[in-house]
Amino acid sequence: MFAMNSGMSNDLFSVAPATVADIPALCRLAEATWWHCYRGMISDEQIRFMLAWMYEPERLRSEMADGVDWLLLCRAGATAPVGFAAWSGTGRGREARLHKLYVHPGHQRRGGAKALLDSVYRRAADAGYRRLSLTVNRHNRTALQCYQRAGFHPCGTQVRDIGGGFVMDDYILARPLAAD
C-alpha cells in the first residue's frame, strides 16, 4: 500500500510509487476525477467507455508489470491518496510520456499537480530521459493552462479512434527535462 515516506514530498503533499495493492484506489480516483473533469467536454457514454477501458484492474496490473511508473499523491498527514500520475519511456530515444495525471476535485489548485509533475520530471530525468510529452483533450482548458504554466509547449495534434465509436481529440505537448 501507499507508503508516505518512500517518495518525494513538500509541505502539503507526498508522492510515492503505487503498487498493485493500490489499484482499487487508482480506479476510485479515476472515477471521481473523470466525471468532474470531462462531463460536458465529452459524452457520458464516452466517459464510461474510457473509464472501463483505461482503468480495468488487469490493464493497470499489466502496465505496472510492463514498466509504467504509477505514482500516488497524498495530502500531508493522510494515508488516502488524492491524485495520481503514470509515465513511461516511449521507446523513441530519450523521450518519456506522461500518460495520466489527475488530482481529486476537492484537492485541486493546491499544488498537487505540481508535486506530481516535479516527481515525474525527477524520475524521468534520473532514468536518462531528456524530453517529456503528453496528450491533452483539446477542450480541457484547465489542464492546458496547468501544463503550459509547467513549461509544456504544443508540438502537434492527434485524433485517435479508440473504438466504441469514440475518438480522442488531443493536443500533443512536450517540454525538455533538466540534463543534470
Q: Is the pLDDT of residue 28 over 50?
A: yes
3-state percent helix, strand, coil for the chain, nearest multiple of 5: 40, 35, 25
Q: What is the pLDDT of residue 106?
A: 82
- Decide if 174 is inside a domain: no
Q: What is the mean pLDDT of the chain?
A: 90
Has residue 156 been placed in a domain?
Answer: no
Q: What is the identity of the amino acid at 164?
A: G
Q: Confidence class of residue 114 from pLDDT cuts 50, 70 and 90?
A: very high
Residue 115 counted as domain residue: yes
Within 8 A by CB and 6+ apart from 90, the residues are 96, 97, 133
pTM: 0.88
Rounded distance between C-alpha atoms, residue 156 and residue 49, angstroms: 25
Report yes or no on 98 lying in a domain.
yes
> Measured between alpha carbons, how far is 58 from 55 in angstroms, rounded to an integer?
8
Residue 138 CA, chain-centre distance (Å), reads 16
Residue 83: give its domain's CATH number: 3.40.630.30
| Residue 42 φ then ψ, to 5° | -130, 165
What are the pLDDT digits (tens) for 42-60? 999 999 999 999 999 999 9
Domain span holding position 111: 4-129
Site of grid cell 482548458: 141
Would you say residue 125 lies in a domain? yes
5 has a pLDDT exceeding 60: no
- C-alpha distances (whole Å) from 165 to each of 35, 70, 158, 160 are 20, 29, 16, 11
Q: Which three cell numbers stand for residue 89?
A: 519511456
Q: Is there a domain that residue 28 lies in?
A: yes
pLDDT at position 179: 60
Query: Could you give the number of structural domains in the chain?
Result: 1
pLDDT grade for 9, boundaries at 50, 70 and 90: very low
- pLDDT band, residue 67 (cuts 50/70/90): very high
